[in-house]
């Protein structure tokens, strides 16, 4: 099987595969495009772009120190305050994000967000090309209420709470110094950002395992929160 088929089978069967050790970043983005195209062919729609490894906390957690980007589809979107079924995930983690709403190639609004990542590789272990090929571990995301862009978006406190307890704390300053920089880089890397798309700037803190039955919130100073409840169990 090809790498695209292997990654797609891992996604559909919720079963991790060994690292594939792709040779180059260009090859990896080509694999990602084909992988997501399979989802589009199954009826999903592109609804945005996500950045990955835009903070040192995230780079350190996965041992890869380059900014990457991936694709978001409507099937990954979970309503704010809704529930997400862990059925179908391999070993999900959750992390706090800042989301931007795209209009005319620019930022039209900002919202607190959560991303659920679920590497299709065993033990969440991958190289830079491998994680790019795996659509940057994208699995699901939640976007809170949109606000107009505040004057300060580069130094807002970010909290990740599980069942009311703070488990990660950081600042939007951790996202390339300013999450708007992630937007600029993402726009250049993705080549195109369409009106109405969601743009996730990348987590400001490390991710934590997403456990069944837990209620998770991302709280971003001045912007409010995004929340989700995890139901069902994962793993095989």
Q: Which residues contribute to the site for Mg ion (CB under 5 A)?
A: 115, 203
Query: In DSSP terms, which residues pair with 52 in a beta bridge?
Result: 68
Instruction: Give the one residue of 28, 39, 58, 214 binding ligand OOG; rule: CB under 6 A.
Output: 58
Query: In DSSP terms, which residues pair with 198 in a beta bridge?
Result: 48, 101
Residue 72: what are its φ and ψ, rounded to 5°? -110, 135
Residue 205 makes contact with ligand OOG by CB under 6 A: no
Footprint on residues 21-50 left by ligand OOG (CB under 6 A): 50
Residue 117 makes contact with ligand OOG by CB under 6 A: yes
Distance CA 146, CA 27 (A): 36
For Mg ion, which is the closer residue by CB, 35 or 51? 51
Instruction: Give the one residue of 92, 144, 170, 202 binding ligand OOG; rule: CB under 6 A.
Output: 202
Residue 210 makes contact with ligand OOG by CB under 6 A: no
Instruction: Give the one residue of 110, 159, 198, 203 binding ligand OOG; rule: CB under 6 A.
Output: 203
Instruction: Give the one residue of 73, 119, 168, 214 binding ligand OOG; rule: CB under 6 A.
Output: 119
- What's the length of the chain? 236
Distance CA 67, CA 80 (A): 27
Footprint on residues 141-200 left by ligand OOG (CB under 6 A): none
Distance CA 55, CA 61 (A): 10
Residue 73 makes contact with ligand OOG by CB under 6 A: no
Pick the closest to residue 102 from 38, 146, 162 (CA basis): 146
Q: How does DSSP assign 47-86, residue by residue?
A: EEEEEES-SHHHHHHHT--S-EEEEEEGGGB--TTEEEE-
User: With CB cut-offs between 5 and 8 Å by kind, which of ligand OOG, Mg ion, none does residue 119 bind?
Assistant: ligand OOG
Q: How far is the CB of 213 from ligand OOG (least distance, A)?
A: 23
For ligand OOG, which is the closer residue by CB, 6 or 148? 6
User: With CB cut-offs between 5 and 8 Å by kind, which of Mg ion, ligand OOG, none does residue 137 bind?
Assistant: ligand OOG
Answer whether 14's CB lies under 8 Å from 140's CB: no
Residue 116: what are its φ and ψ, rounded to 5°? -100, 120
The site for ligand OOG (CB under 6 A) is made up of 50, 52-54, 58, 62, 95, 115, 117, 119, 131, 136-137, 202-203
């Amino acid at each position: 099987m090809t790498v695209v088929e292997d990654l797609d089978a891992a996604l559909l069967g919720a079963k991790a595969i060994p690292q594939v050790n792709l040779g180059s970043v260009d090859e990896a983005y080509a694999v990602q495009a084909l992988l997501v195209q399979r989802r589009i062919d199954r009826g999903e729609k592109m609804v945005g772009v996500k950045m990955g490894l835009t903070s040192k906390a995230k780079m350190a957690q996965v041992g890869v120190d380059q900014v990457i980007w991936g694709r978001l589809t409507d099937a990954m979107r979970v309503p704010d305050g809704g529930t997400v079924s862990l059925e179908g995930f391999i070993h999900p983690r959750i992390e706090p994000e800042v989301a931007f709403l795209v209009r005319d190639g620019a930022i039209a609004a900002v919202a607190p967000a959560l991303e659920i990542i679920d590497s299709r590789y065993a033990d969440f272990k991958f190289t830079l090309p491998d994680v790019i090929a795996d659509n940057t571990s994208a699995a699901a995301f939640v976007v809170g209420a949109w606000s107009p862009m505040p004057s300060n978006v580069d130094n807002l406190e970010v909290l990740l709470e599980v069942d009311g307890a703070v488990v990660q704390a950081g600042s939007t300053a951790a996202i390339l110094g300013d999450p708007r920089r992630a937007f600029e880089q993402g726009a250049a890397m993705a080549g195109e950002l369409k009106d109405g798309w969601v743009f996730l700037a990348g987590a400001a803190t490390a991710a934590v395992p997403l456990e069944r039955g837990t209620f998770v919130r991302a709280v971003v100073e001045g912007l409010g929160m995004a929340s989700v409840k995890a139901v069902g169990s994962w793993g095989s």
